[in-house]
């Protein structure tokens, strides 16, 4: 199981307390699901805390200062977006990976624009989840095929001229990378396919993430609310 994780976490990667594995807080309102994830992740990460609602999450994260928070989108007390807002205001260095059963567009786009550096659905395998965690904790972005599809959709609806071309448009290369992710390719496979390095793929995805978070094009929000569905 660990071989794929180590593809990502190379020797130079060290997390906050000098460990080779990231310290993680799991935030989800289903206790069963939290323990399930804990079990699946095994020793790929160090789980340092759990929380089941917004207030509890903010408290635990503030105490533990983990490398990464696994964040459920739907939480009692304001949802994942509220946790992002309150934690990132004080600890901008903490990274969030959103995890949800919902793949409704407004949920996905909502948490990513709220500051999560990735979005995966709860059907993800333990191995892939561990890999995604290490990747996000390392500062990169993780897009599921579905999120890649959303982003392509949102950025291709260009009926209005972009306000800020730097942020409101994807480059040809970025679109190409996203299309491969949407087709179900892992980063490594995308890299091989496009004759670029995995690092470059990660750079492209991070840049798309930045655009997604910073762009003000109203298509993004309008599109997400107009299309409640996948």
Partner 1 sequence: MVDTPRLTRAVDGRLLGGVAAGLARHLGVDPVVVRLAFIALSVGGIGVAVYTALFFFVPKEEAHTQEEGRDGALRKGRDVSQLLAYIGLGVGLGTLFLVFGGVFDPLLWFVVFGALGATILWQQANPAQRDEWMSTTVRHAGSKALMRTGAGVLLIVVGVIGFLVFQQQLQDARAGLTFAFTLLAGISLVVAPWIIGLIRDRDQERRERIRNAERAELAAHIHDSVLHTLTLIQRRAEDPREVQRLARVQERALRSWLYQRPADAETTVSPGLERVAAEVEEEHGVPIEVVCVGDCPLDDALGAMLRAAREAMVNASKYAGCDTLSVFGEVDQEEVLVFVRDRGAGFDLDEVPEDRMGVRGSIIGRMERHGGSARIRTAPGEGTEVQLRMPRIPQY
Considering only residues 182, 190, 191, 212, which one is a binding residue for partner 1 as defined by CB under 8 A?
182
What residues between 116 and 155 interact with partner 1 by CB under 8 A? Answer: 123, 145-146, 148-149, 152-153
Give min distance, CB of 143 to partner 1, in A: 11
Nearer to partner 1, 96 or 185 (CB): 185
- Nearest to partner 1 of 53, 153 (CB atom): 153
Q: Which of 156, 158, 216, 225 binds partner 1 (CB under 8 A)?
A: 156
Closer residue to partner 1, CB minimum distance, 73 or 182 = 182
For partner 1, the closer CB: 25 or 37: 37
Contacts with partner 1, 210-229, as mask; x by CB under 8 A: ------------------xx
Question: Are 142 and 120 spatial neighbours (Cβ–Cβ below 8 Å)?
Answer: yes
Closer CB to partner 1, 84 or 177, in the complex: 177
Total number of residues that touch partner 1 (CB under 8 A):
17
Which range touches partner 1 (CB under 8 A), out of 75-83, 112-120, 175-183, 202-210? 175-183
Tell me how far, at minimum, the Cβ of 90 lies from partner 1, in Å.
35
SS3 for the chain is CHHHHHHHCCCCCCCCCCCCCCEEEEECCCHHHHHHHHHHHHHHCEEEEEECCHHHHHHHHHHHCCCEEEEECCCCCCHHHHHHHHHHHHCCCCEEEEEECCCCHHHHHHHHHHCCCEEEECCCCHHHHHHHHHHHHCCCCEECHHHHHHHHHHHHCCCCCCCCHHHHCCCHHHHHHHHHHHCCCCHHHHHHHHCCCHHHHHHHHHHHHHHHHHCCCHHHHHHHHHCCCC
User: Which residues of the shown chain bind partner 1 in the complex (CB under 8 A)?
Assistant: 104, 123, 145-146, 148-149, 152-153, 156, 179, 182-185, 228-230
């Amino acid at each position: 199981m660990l071989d794929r994780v180590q593809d990502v976490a190379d020797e130079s990667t060290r997390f906050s307390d000098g460990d080779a594995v990231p310290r993680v807080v799991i935030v989800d309102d289903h206790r069963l699901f939290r323990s399930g994830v804990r079990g699946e992740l095994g020793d790929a990460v160090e789980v340092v805390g759990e929380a089941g609602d917004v207030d509890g999450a903010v408290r635990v994260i503030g105490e533990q200062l983990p490398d990464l928070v696994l964040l459920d989108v739907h939480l009692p007390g304001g949802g994942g977006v509220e946790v992002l807002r309150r934690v990132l205001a004080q600890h901008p260095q903490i990274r969030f990976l959103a995890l949800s059963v919902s793949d409704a567009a407004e949920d996905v786009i909502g948490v990513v624009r709220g500051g999560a550096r990735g979005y995966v659905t709860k059907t993800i395998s333990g191995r892939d989840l561990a890999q995604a965690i290490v990747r996000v904790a390392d500062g990169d972005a993780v897009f599921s095929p579905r999120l890649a599809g959303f982003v392509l959709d949102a950025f291709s609806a260009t009926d209005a001229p972009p306000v800020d071309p730097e942020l409101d448009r994807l480059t040809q290369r970025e679109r190409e990378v996203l299309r491969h992710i949407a087709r179900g390719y892992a980063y490594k496979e995308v890299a091989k396919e496009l004759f670029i390095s995995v690092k470059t793929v990660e750079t492209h995805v991070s840049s798309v993430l930045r655009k997604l978070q910073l762009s003000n094009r109203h298509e993004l929000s309008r599109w997400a609310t107009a299309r409640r569905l996948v």
